[in-house]
Amino acid sequence: MSWFRSLVRAFRRPFRHLRKHWRPVLVGLALIPVHASAMLWMPRLLGETLDMLTAGGDDVALAATCWLMLGLAGAEAAARFTSRKLLIDTSRVVERSMKDELVSHLHTLPTAWFDRAKTGDLTSRMTQDIELMRFVIGPLLLHGGSALCLLPAGLVLMLSMNVSVALASLVALLFVFVAMKFVVPRLHQWSKRSQEAIAEISQQAQEDFAGIRVVQQFDRVPNELASMATKNRRYLVANLRLVRLRAVLNALMHSTGGAVMLGVLLVGGHEVIVGRITIGELFQFTGYLALMTFPLQILGWTIATVPRAQAAGERIEELFEVASEPQGGLRPQVRVDIEVRDLTFCYPGATTPALRDVSFSLRAGQKLGVLGPVGSGKSTLLALLLRLYDPPAGTVFVGGHDVLEIDARVLRAAFAYAPQEPFLFSDTVADNVVFDEPDVSDERRDAAIADAALDQDLPQLRDGLQTVVGERGVTLSGGQKQRVSIARALLSDRPGVLLDDTLSAVDPTTERRIVNGLRRAGAGRTLVAATHRLSVTADADLILVLQDGAVAQRGTHEELLRAQGPYAAAWQLQTEARALEGGEGDGT
């Protein structure tokens, strides 16, 4: 029964969407008996005609039968067209609604959940899995419906004609279902293995191509080929097993048709010879059987595909079952003064804290610099200000309220944010910049672009601001992406600006331009900049140097230089690097 429960779990959602479109579904389904009866009428007409012919009938009756059959064929075609169009269209609509629903749901999930989820896996659930469900649901309705009509109706008609011939055919039909029960689960299992194997291949290829410099420099090509060969072999084996199972299934379906014909020939022939049925009726039987073969095959196919769709459905449900972030809370007019008190924070599931005993306060309009090596907690601090994760109660205050009490969306609306890994959608550069304020004037947009020093990149892009970037367009360099991200943050007029290491891929000259841009655009706004580049924060009201999550040094630039600690040492080295790259020492 657990199998049944999982089946219900997998298909409940698509069927709920189907119910919303019950009208076309109903009409489509209602038309199935129409074309099924038109189809079932024909063998009978043929059988009777054949008997009439052998008994020496006349041209007039033959012509009448022909016209009637043509009419039936017309009706069948019309009904079949309509039901196919309605039902398959609806399955597309269901696919579409499920995708939309999933996207909306994903946007409510906790950020911590995304940290653990793998993008590739998520994407395949959003695309392939939902498409697979649609791929089963449409045909299931259309062909399943006609199988449900044709199979029982055909059987009843056959039984009413001659019980022994009908039963002989029935036995042959049943045989195939029993056999399928053994084949189909294995089919499912090996198809999963095959998918895993191709995923491994894809993973290695992706990595080797991304790290091509290392692969070539260290002469690792033969090694990678060998490792790929192993993966290829695994995939081959899985696929061959899969093919063998499919071949068994095909052979079964093929021989069922034959076995049924054999039953008709043997038992039916016997009945003809002993004079219980006519040859026309025998022919009628074969007509019914021919009609039933296609639904039978479709049924077989559906049975073979349902487990895969079921697994897909369950994977989709797993996503829907992840609990959303709690919603609601205070909706104050947020003034961005920030107070952090004895903040110690551990990521869910981690044992060592990412931040320890961090305290500081920042008045609205002030600038905070957060420095420290990778993993020292800079990004975590910024993420907590945005409440991408929940800090412990009573530790992080924005505008005088504990961030836990403020509605997350109201809190986030107070900050513009440029994340560590700048994210661009495959849209135009302009659309990516005005992401936050689509209706902004061109002047303001261009000012933000200049402040982020993005203007220097535009001449190099094919269509300037209208260049489409990303997956389906031009690939921007890391520095260009960062500049788009900074422009996006500077453009919005939110009172707080959070910059998370957004200058790491930028050369010294551009860096100086951006630092000046930040000064201009950031005036009057509360700015928190996490960075490795010390020059960015030299004018900050407060600088925190983080080490392993704790504040190692704090103060203004001048105080820290005098302190002769890690800050002063790093300042010296970074000044050297800038000088050797031909940039001028800032000397602030």
Residue list 357-386, contact with another protein (CB under 8 A) = 371-376, 386
Of positions 318, 405, 442, 584, contacts another protein by CB under 8 A:
584
Residues 253 and 300 sit within 8 Å (Cβ to Cβ): yes
How many whole angstroms separate alpha carbon 446 and alpha carbon 282? Answer: 83
Of positions 27, 64, 103, 171, contacts another protein by CB under 8 A:
103
171 binds another protein (CB under 8 A): no
3-state secondary structure at position 314 = helix
Residues 185 and 308 sit within 8 Å (Cβ to Cβ): no
93 binds another protein (CB under 8 A): yes
Please list every residue from 190 through 209 that binds another protein, using CB under 8 A: 198, 201-203, 205-209
Residues 98 and 13 sit within 8 Å (Cβ to Cβ): yes
How many whole angstroms separate alpha carbon 113 and alpha carbon 55? Answer: 78
Query: What would the two tokens of residue 320 be?
Result: 């829907």
Q: How far is the CB of 5 from another protein (least distance, A)?
A: 29
Q: What are the strands of the beta sheet with 542-547, ordered from one edge?
A: 415-418, 496-500, 526-531, 367-371, 542-547, 550-555
Please list every residue from 22 through 51 that binds another protein, using CB under 8 A: 42, 46, 49-50
How many whole angstroms separate alpha carbon 140 and alpha carbon 12? Answer: 15
Of positions 272, 298, 330, 458, contacts another protein by CB under 8 A:
272
341 binds another protein (CB under 8 A): no
Residues 536 and 369 sit within 8 Å (Cβ to Cβ): yes
Count of Cβ atoms closer than 10 Å to residue 567 Cβ: 22
Cα 121–422–383 angle (5° rounding)?
A: 85
Q: How far is the CB of 492 from another protein (least distance, A)?
A: 7
In the bound state with another protein, the residue whose beta carbon lies nearer, of 259 and 296, is 259
Query: What would the two tokens of residue 421 be?
Result: 């890994």
156 binds another protein (CB under 8 A): no
Binding mask 71-90 for another protein (x = CB under 8 A): -xxx-xxx-xx--xx--xx-
69 binds another protein (CB under 8 A): yes
In the bound state with another protein, the residue whose beta carbon lies nearer, of 150 and 416, is 416
E strand intervals along 490-549: 496-500, 526-531, 542-547
574 burial via Cβ count (<10 Å: 0-12, 13-18, 19+)? middle
Residue holding tokens 């407060």?
A: 542
3-state secondary structure at position 523 = coil
How many whole angstroms separate alpha carbon 231 and alpha carbon 236? Answer: 9
In the bound state with another protein, the residue whose beta carbon lies nearer, of 216 and 361, is 216
502 binds another protein (CB under 8 A): no
Please list every residue from 217 through 246 that binds another protein, using CB under 8 A: 217-221, 223-225, 227-229, 232-233, 235-236, 239-240, 243-244, 246
Size of the site for another protein (CB under 8 A): 167
570 binds another protein (CB under 8 A): yes
426 binds another protein (CB under 8 A): yes
Residues 6+ apart with CB under 8 A from 578: 508, 535, 584, 585, 586
Please list every residue from 479 through 498 that binds another protein, using CB under 8 A: 492, 498
255 binds another protein (CB under 8 A): yes
Of positions 392, 464, 473, 555, contacts another protein by CB under 8 A:
473
In the bound state with another protein, the residue whose beta carbon lies nearer, of 269 and 365, is 269
556 binds another protein (CB under 8 A): no
Piece of the chain touching another protein by CB under 8 A; list 67-75, 306-314, 390-398, 443-451: 67-75
Q: How far is the CB of 409 from another protein (least distance, A)?
A: 5
Instruction: Report strand pairing: 355-362 vs 496-500.
Output: unpaired
Of positions 1, 213, 321, 352, contacts another protein by CB under 8 A:
213
Count of Cβ atoms closer than 10 Å to residue 489 Cβ: 30
> What is the separation, in whole angstroms, between the first and last Cα of the chain?
73
Q: Pick the closest to residue 141 from 15, 300, 297 (CA basis).
A: 15
In the bound state with another protein, the residue whose beta carbon lies nearer, of 198 and 298, is 198
> At residue 376, what are phi and psi to the nearest 5 degrees?
-90, -5
Q: Pick the closest to residue 536 from 487, 573, 563, 499 (CA basis).
A: 499
92 binds another protein (CB under 8 A): yes
Of positions 133, 147, 417, 481, contacts another protein by CB under 8 A:
417
Of positions 308, 401, 412, 513, contacts another protein by CB under 8 A:
412
Q: How far is the CB of 221 from another protein (least distance, A)?
A: 5
Please list every residue from 106 through 135 that binds another protein, using CB under 8 A: 106-108, 111, 114, 117-119, 122-123, 126-127
Please list every residue from 282 through 311 that binds another protein, using CB under 8 A: 282-283, 286, 290
In the bound state with another protein, the residue whose beta carbon lies nearer, of 8 and 205, is 205
The secondary element (H helix, E strand) that includes residue 476 is none
462 binds another protein (CB under 8 A): no
